[in-house]
Chains A and B, each alone.
Chain A
Amino acid sequence: MRQKTDYANWIKGIVVQVGFVIAAIYIFYTSSSEWAVREHWGVLSTYTLLTIFSCFAPVRISNTILTVNNAVIFSGILLYGVWVGVWAAVIESLIIAFLVRFNPLKAIINIGQLLMTIWTVAFLKDWIEGFGTVSPIISDLILAVVYWFVNLILCGLGISYFHQMTWARTVKMMAKGFTSTYLLLLILAGVGSRLVESYGPLPLIPMMIAFITISYVFHHYYDNLQRLQQKVEEVKSFNHNFLTTMAASIDARDRYTSGHSQRVAYWGREIARDIGLSERKVEDVYIGGILHDIGKIGIEDEILNKKGKLTPEEYDKIKQHTVIGYEIILQAGMFNELLPAIRSHHERIDGRGYPDGLAGDEIPLMARILAISDAFDAMVADRPYRKGLPVEEALQEIRRGSGTQFDPILAEHFIRIVQRLPYEELQSIIGIESIPQKQLQEAIR
């Protein structure tokens, strides 16, 4: 498999680095004889000016910037032929090569793909004109689409080679980014060319005004869009901060469990890493750990801080914290992926847990992970009225609960993780009171 991709990449390298370069040189050479004709010099200088202008007149769309150069090149092909398109492309490449970045190989490869596009479109134009039945307006439209398509395919090939991506993916990504604006510019160029052909350069004035108006509208539109996105980001980060602060306030309120959420989050993350979850999922587990007891905010202080044994009614109320937490996060509209973890972290593998009595694989993985880290921390942490269990004993308890209370595979992973840790490190983790707020926010982000 690997050999196959290597081979494909090698072929791609040859096509791009040799094929494109040869095409560039060949098309350049065949066009240069047209440039030597005295009658063509006026057109060449006009298109030089147009190209310089269009290199620095970009049209901004949401995430990319398009220059109008392709529109200029396209109009050159329609009005005069392939040699004007090639000229404009060469001048543009020259400006980019000198002004933006000087990489001779990439510059000539870029010229190559552009010239092949121009050549294809010009060839097709002659072919369509050969029929003599297609209206130029319709043929221009077809050619605009062909120009866009060929340019996209060839450009995608070059970029996919240099960025080590698959061709199809690159093309798809590029097409998604700018197709509509690109086609709009080419179609405008086509219409503009026909107007200039019939009425001389005067129609360029209304065209220009229309164009400037369009880019003005675009500009405003994307400005507003950007501002909106910024606001959404702000709201998101506010929500994040709000929820983490809330989680911290639960720990602060429940004097038995200071720093509990952070430690559960820590152990949850260690398990998630150990079983090989993706970095994203690992972070989700961490946030799940931070927020897992958020529902305790809805439990009365007297029950939460009660010394001594709870009555069955009080215990039922405590059990409600999973559902309350679930409701809170649901209403917040954030962290939706954590909902199952918050609701189900007190479920047991044998189905005797709460609130829903789920069993085995019905319990979401994140909840099964957090159940273990939650139980472990509850056992080893010091309480004002009792010292925490020694780590070995707590692990023994987890071993005993494996298969009934806890997922056996996860329990095994967890025991191994804890046993791997040196004694001092383990003690310092168990002793964590609370993690500074800033660190929390970084983890959430």
Chain B
Amino acid sequence: MLLDVIALSFLVALLRGGRIKDFPKFKQIKLLVVTILLQACAVLFPAIGGIFISIAYVFILAFLVFNREFEDMRIFLIGWFLNAIAIWSNNGKMPIDLVQAAKLPYDLEPVINGTNFKHSVLTESSNFPFLTDVIYMPSIIPRIISIGDIFIMLGAFLLVQRLMNKPISLLQLREGKSYATKN
């Protein structure tokens, strides 16, 4: 889903001289498994898919809270939190702006007729429209993103840097210190 961002992040990490040393351990991985199962349920039972997706977001937020000691997880938390507001307030589906989506080379039919398990059409009655998928992102892979997705992309970038043993600390950047954290 974020393949291009992740690939780009790996490229940056490689250029910075990063190498994978060992895979970092996450706490409460089972919460992620639950999230995936819930999403699968949403596909299987499209009629009440919104409920499954909404609950899935609770679990993913919980997973991030458990792993909040890492800055990338906290950035993810902002992004998923903003997306969660949009999804919870719009019946468990992320509304997508068709005006922007028309620029994409995909078939929008499933979104329009409501069979897409994750997205719905953005209308006047949608809540928090500014938090839904309304921003056209032309490259690298064209897509429609939300404000929350911006944070998720930043989090993904930071996570990859950490995986490649070259973590970047936003907090240290903020305090005017060198950007790299000490290992």
Interface residues of A (CB under 8 A from B): 35-36, 38, 40-42, 44-45, 48-49, 52, 55-58, 60, 65, 67, 94-95, 98-100
Chain B residues within an 8 Å CB radius of A57:
173
A38–B129 Cα distance when bound, in Å, is 8
Q: How far is the CB of A65 from chain B (nearest CB, A)?
A: 5
Q: Choose among B71, B129, B174 the residue with the greatest number of A CB atoms under 10 Å from its CB.
A: B174
Chain A residues within an 8 Å CB radius of B75:
98-99
Secondary structure of the A side of the interface?
Answer: helix
Instruction: Say whether A60 contacts B174, CB under 8 Å.
Output: no
Instruction: Say whether A99 contacts B150, CB under 8 Å.
Output: no
Chain A residues within an 8 Å CB radius of B135:
41-42, 45
The residue in chain A whose Cβ has the minimal distance to the Cβ of B173 is A56
Total number of B residues with any Cβ neighbor in A under 8 Å? 24
Instruction: Say whether B173 contacts A48, CB under 8 Å.
Output: no
Interface string of B127-144 (1 = CB under 8 A from A): 011100011000000000
Instruction: Say whether B174 contacts A58, CB under 8 Å.
Output: yes
The residue in chain A whose Cβ has the minimal distance to the Cβ of B154 is A52
A227–B9 Cα distance when bound, in Å, is 37
- Which 3 residue pairs spanning A and B have beta carbons closest together? A56-B173, A35-B130, A60-B176
Q: How far is the CB of A55 from chain B (nearest CB, A)?
A: 6
Which of B74, B130, B151, B175 interacts with A44 by CB under 8 Å?
Answer: B130
A45–B134 Cα distance when bound, in Å, is 9
Instruction: Say whether B147 contacts A44, CB under 8 Å.
Output: yes
Which of B74, B130, B150 interacts with A36 by CB under 8 Å?
Answer: B130
A95–B81 Cα distance when bound, in Å, is 12
Chain B residues within an 8 Å CB radius of A49:
150
Chain B residues within an 8 Å CB radius of A94:
78, 82
Q: How far is the CB of A330 from chain B (nearest CB, A)?
A: 42
Chain A residues within an 8 Å CB radius of B163:
none
Instruction: Say whether B74 contacts A99, CB under 8 Å.
Output: yes
Give 20 A-B pairs besides A48-B147, A60-B176 with Cβ atoms closer than 8 angstroms: A35-B130, A38-B97, A38-B129, A41-B134, A42-B135, A44-B130, A44-B147, A45-B134, A45-B135, A48-B150, A55-B170, A55-B174, A56-B174, A57-B173, A65-B174, A98-B75, A99-B75, A99-B170, A100-B171, A100-B174
A145–B176 Cα distance when bound, in Å, is 26
The residue in chain B whose Cβ has the minimal distance to the Cβ of A100 is B171
Q: How far is the CB of B36 from chain A (nearest CB, A)?
A: 24
Chain A residues within an 8 Å CB radius of B154:
52
For this complex, 16 residue pairs linking A to B, each with C-beta atoms less than 8 Å apart, are: A38-B129, A38-B134, A42-B135, A44-B130, A45-B147, A48-B150, A52-B151, A52-B154, A57-B173, A58-B174, A58-B175, A65-B176, A67-B174, A94-B78, A98-B77, A98-B78
* 8 Å CB interface, B53-105 against A: 71, 74-75, 77-78, 81-82, 97, 99
Chain A residues within an 8 Å CB radius of B151:
52
A188–B28 Cα distance when bound, in Å, is 47
Chain A residues within an 8 Å CB radius of B74:
98-99
Which of A44, A48, A99 interacts with B171 by CB under 8 Å?
Answer: A99
A201–B99 Cα distance when bound, in Å, is 24
Instruction: Say whether A65 contacts B175, CB under 8 Å.
Output: yes
Which of A52, A58, A98 interacts with B150 by CB under 8 Å?
Answer: A52
Q: How far is the CB of A84 from chain B (nearest CB, A)?
A: 12
Chain B residues within an 8 Å CB radius of A48:
147, 150
A48–B97 Cα distance when bound, in Å, is 19
A55–B78 Cα distance when bound, in Å, is 14
* 8 Å CB interface, B138-168 against A: 147, 150-151, 154
Instruction: Say whether B170 contacts A36, CB under 8 Å.
Output: no
A57–B147 Cα distance when bound, in Å, is 20
A36–B131 Cα distance when bound, in Å, is 9
The residue in chain A whose Cβ has the minimal distance to the Cβ of B137 is A45
Which of A41, A58, A65, A98 interacts with B130 by CB under 8 Å?
Answer: A41
Interface string of B170-182 (1 = CB under 8 A from A): 1101111000000
